[in-house]
Structure 1
Amino acid sequence: MVDKKEKITSSYNNSCCFEPFISPNPITSFNPVQRYPKIDKTAFVSQFSSVIGDVTINNNVYVAPNVSIRADEGTPFYIGANTNIQDGVILHGLLNRRISVGSKRYSIFIGNQVSVAHGALVHGPCFIGDKVFVGFNAIVYNAIVGKGSFISYNAVVTNGVRIPPNRFIPPGANIDSQEKANALSRVPEDSREFAREVQRVNQEFPASYHLLFGENRCSCGISYD
């Protein structure tokens, strides 16, 4: 059993009903050991969001309201530094389907300075490299996305494809074969600048929200001990 003091590395307290729901995974036949989220104290998880199971959230990550990060089937998840997970995003993974990163295996691995925009679905097994932009309502499932790529709104990346670094997936595209992935053009400068601006804005949110709510306040503004 995990020591109670080590259960959740975060700045949250579950005494307020408007706080994020942060908990271990339930015990099941396929995940018989409870694992608790590890959330860096500089990260911010907004109200009404869920973080469940073996999830690592690194420094200065911003998780917006109404996000579901659910490592109760596929597991573990990793979210790198300065990444933002925007409103309505879902992270989930298939059982026993993982991607190798170094010496470890992950259901979902999201690198540093990634933006996952409103309403996107990231479903493991998948790897999203550093500085990737995942657009509004996009789907990434069973894929490897190279560093600096830009996935436009309503696009789908799936079927085991590997997106080379710095590639542009057009709006509504369905990239479901390696042939399609290899034919993608490089990210145009206007899209690259858009991704940089989204990063700039969202990297200010964790510290600003912590300041707004205070060290001993939950995300609804109610104080606790």
Structure 2
Amino acid sequence: MTLWNYQRNQYGPYNIYSYYVGYNPQTSVNPNLHYPKIHQRAFLSPFTFVAGDVTIEKNTFVAPFVSIRADEGTPFYIGSNSNLQDGVILHGLKNKYVEKNNKRFSIYIGNRVSCAHGSLVHGPCRVEDDVFIGFNSIVYNAVIGEGSFISSGAVVTNGVELKPRSFVPPGANIDTQGKANVLATVPETEEEFAREVQRVNREFPSAYSLFFGKNRCSCGLAC
């Protein structure tokens, strides 16, 4: 008898999955109903919450207890090969936008972006490709340039724009453009750390999907 069968027979049931993937509620702020668009090769972990006009592209990993709530600010876009780790929160302010490719978004997250455990990304904001957002950090009302590294506990806000490969030190508060302009470039050690985080998390969508069955519907859940 396998360990899984032993545990199920002796103590079960195990692995009762819980999700919410669905429409945003109709309110005066956001009266139009939208259902998330999630690529079949993305993976949503148990206890994920996704509501409203949210696009999640292929091979993106969404860890447990992530909240992606496009019920006020909307829409959200999350590119391919990105990862939102445990406890990440995405939310946005009503009628506040960033632009990308002549389209308006409350939150735009590019490809190969890592949002580490407990980080908050609050719209309006745009996060370009290959960015690392550190543990318990906050990005709000900002544009984060490609390849930037935001360290643990840092805050980037107040309409600032980080140039590509900017390094935000641990606990820093980048709330003026002047502070953003003098940031150093990302050290090689932190670039390597970000690459390794990406490498590990890119394996999770397909690996975890084995536990959820081979057939997955367009919402990203196992059928």
The alignment's TM-score, normalised by the length of structure 2, stands at 0.89
Matches within 5 A, 1:21-170: 21-170=20-169
Amino acid aligned to 1:108: I
Q: Report the secondary structure of 2:58's partner residue.
A: coil
Cα distance in 2 for residues equivalent to 1:20 and 1:152 = 30
Secondary structure in 1 aligned to 2:59? coil
Q: Say if 1:147 and 1:160 are closer, same or farther in 2 by CA, change over 3 A.
A: same
Aligned counterparts of 2:28 and 2:117: Cα–Cα separation in 1: 33
3-state SS, counterpart of residue 203 of structure 1: helix
**Secondary structure at 1:200 match in 2:** helix
Residue in structure 2 matched with residue 3 of structure 1 by the alignment:
none
Highest CA radius of gyration, 1 or 2? 2
Measure the CA separation in 1 of the matches of 2:216 and 2:163. 43
- SS of match in other structure, 2:28: coil
Where does residue 199 of structure 2 map in the other structure?
A: 200
In the TM superposition, residue 18 of structure 1 has moved relative to its aligned partner by 2.2
| 1:217 CA displacement | 8.2
1:126–1:217 distance in 2 versus 1, CA, 3 Å = closer
Paired-residue identity, %: 63
Q: Does 1:174 align with 2:173?
A: yes
| Backbone CA RMSD of aligned residues | 1.6
Q: What is the CA deviation profile of residues 116-138 of structure 1, one whole-angstrom value per residue up to 9, with x for unaligned ones? A: 00000000000001000000000
Q: How far apart, CA to CA, are the structure 2 residues paired with 1:217 and 1:40?
A: 10
The number of residues matched between the two structures is 205
Partners in 1 of 2:19 and 2:183 — Cα distance? 38
Unaligned segments of structure 2, at least 5 residues: 1-14
TM-score where L is the length of structure 1: 0.88
Instruction: Report the alpha carbon displacement of residue 17 of structure 1 after superposing the two structures with TM.
Output: 6.3
Structure 1, gaps ≥5 residues long:
1-15, 219-223
Shift of 1:32: 1.2
Q: Which stretch of structure 1 is more off in the superposition, 22-31 or 81-90?
A: 22-31
State the alpha-carbon separation in 2 of the partners of residues 30 and 111 from structure 1: 26
Structure 1 runs of 4+ with >4 Å offset: none
How far apart are the structure 2 equivalents of 1:100 and 1:49?
Answer: 27
Contact 2:40/2:216 (CA < 8 Å) preserved in 1? no
Q: Distance in 2 between matches of 1:20 and 1:41?
A: 16
Deviation at 1:72, TM superposition (A): 0.1
Distance 1:82 1:37 in 2: 18
Which whole-Å CA distance do the structure 2 matches of 1:154 and 1:98 have between them? 25
